[in-house]
Structure 1
């Protein structure tokens, strides 16, 4: 008696994948994988954008004195204020800690870095050397039209108040020469020192608009004239005048905490 042929219960390959050609199936699989990859990229991009927004907002709050030195950041309040989840906020706070604007208050929170007057003066001393070097290296590298436009902006500053426009002009001048020096490490170091100085300055707003205006114009005029020595002296005069002004306020009790 002949044995009956054994019928396999396993689906044949053609049944599993249908009658579609192998190339078509491969393209469909690649399309699915590509779609998943696009979704992941979109998710990562959204997370990165939220982190960047949180970083920029908190940094601005610190530099504009809405968050003061020594103040502990309440994560829950920041989440409500920024209207975002805790994850991008925490990533932003970690980044600000790395830049020296925040310090750990405890295992789960941060506080705004508190700059003492002693550290402030140390930063100014280092800035004297670095910014003097920067403007020397930057000579002839910045278009005259750019310098003149900056000069016009400084002349237009309102001397009756010290607001964001003052800080913007200050950042533009000092940052311009640092970047034009061609030394990236020099520019990054100057930028960091300026942030530390500003953390101290915003504790008691300095009304130096007119003095700053004159000193900044002296720097720009010397640069336009191509006078490296005079430009260098103008930078040093500006930083040393700021140090003397701060010391005067300290001696008069207008600024506290020298330690």
Structure 2
């Protein structure tokens, strides 16, 4: 059963990924407590976790700022995510326990069956967390949380055709997950790289679209 802090974290993460709490927004603890009906202690624990994952910045004297969501930052994240995520999939192939593989198989089915963005987002987050846990490397989990979380938010907030892009992204994720379930390290790595290539392509398309409309890529 999730703790109050975990529930607060999941709620805030949903609001950030959905864009309800928009990039650059400044918030206070008191406003979040009132708005979301959260206790101060679980809220603070959730905020500390989100700060470590770089989803927010805690600015002394000003409050809590939702992290920026620029194309340039996304491309930098993907550059680093490429080798680390491939390593995560490789380690999961080698180290996942039978119980972890059973859980991953169930999550893979949920992801495959998701047809709406909300359920897909939740299933995607769960499968990404499961892969990191199955890799059994504490330092890997610290590295992957911001890379995957911020990349996921970028993708979600720039969907032009949700159903089409969700299908493309889903196929890449499923290939990587199915390779782990077979303990096929080579296929898992290749699927991970293909996923990263897709995310880079998606980000470059966003960059081109913003340039066509004269938007600042740093936004």
Q: Same fold (TM over 0.5)?
A: yes
2:145 aligns with: 191
- Give 1:179 deviation, angstroms: 1.5
Q: Does 1:210 align with 2:167?
A: yes
Moved more, 145-154 or 228-237: 145-154
- TM-score, with normalisation over the residues of structure 1? 0.68
- Give 1:92 deviation, angstroms: 5.0
- Give 1:228 deviation, angstroms: 1.5
2:198 aligns with: 241
Which among 128, 132, 135 is matched to residue 82 of structure 2?
128
Tell me how far apart the structure 2 counterparts of residues 139 and 50 of structure 1 sit (CA, whole Å): 33
Tell me how far apart the structure 2 counterparts of residues 258 and 61 of structure 1 sit (CA, whole Å): 23
Instruction: Write the deviation string for residues 88-137 of structure 1: whole angstroms up to 9, x where unpaired.
Output: 65665455434422224561422211132111111111111011111111
2:128 aligns with: 174
In structure 1, the residue corresponding to 2:114 is in which secondary structure? coil
Tell me how far apart the structure 2 counterparts of residues 179 and 54 of structure 1 sit (CA, whole Å): 21
Of Structure 1 and Structure 2, the greater helix share is in 2
1:162 aligns with: 117
In structure 1, the residue corresponding to 2:126 is in which secondary structure? helix
1:258 aligns with: 217
Q: 1:186 to 1:106 in 2, by over 3 A?
A: closer
1:64 aligns with: 18
Tell me how far apart the structure 1 counterparts of residues 9 and 127 of structure 2 sit (CA, whole Å): 24
Moved more, 53-62 or 114-123: 53-62
Q: Does 1:153 align with 2:110?
A: yes
Is the radius of gyration larger for structure 1 or structure 2?
1
Contact 1:117 1:257 in 2 (8 A): no
Q: In structure 1, list runs of 5 or more residues that go unmatched.
A: 1-48
Which among 211, 224, 227 is matched to residue 181 of structure 2?
224
Tell me how far apart the structure 1 counterparts of residues 5 and 193 of structure 2 sit (CA, whole Å): 38
Tell me how far apart the structure 1 counterparts of residues 126 and 41 of structure 2 sit (CA, whole Å): 33
1:101 aligns with: 55
1:42 aligns with: none
| More relative contact order, 1 or 2 (CA 8 Å, 6+ apart) | 2
In structure 2, the residue corresponding to 1:103 is in which secondary structure? strand
1:9 aligns with: none
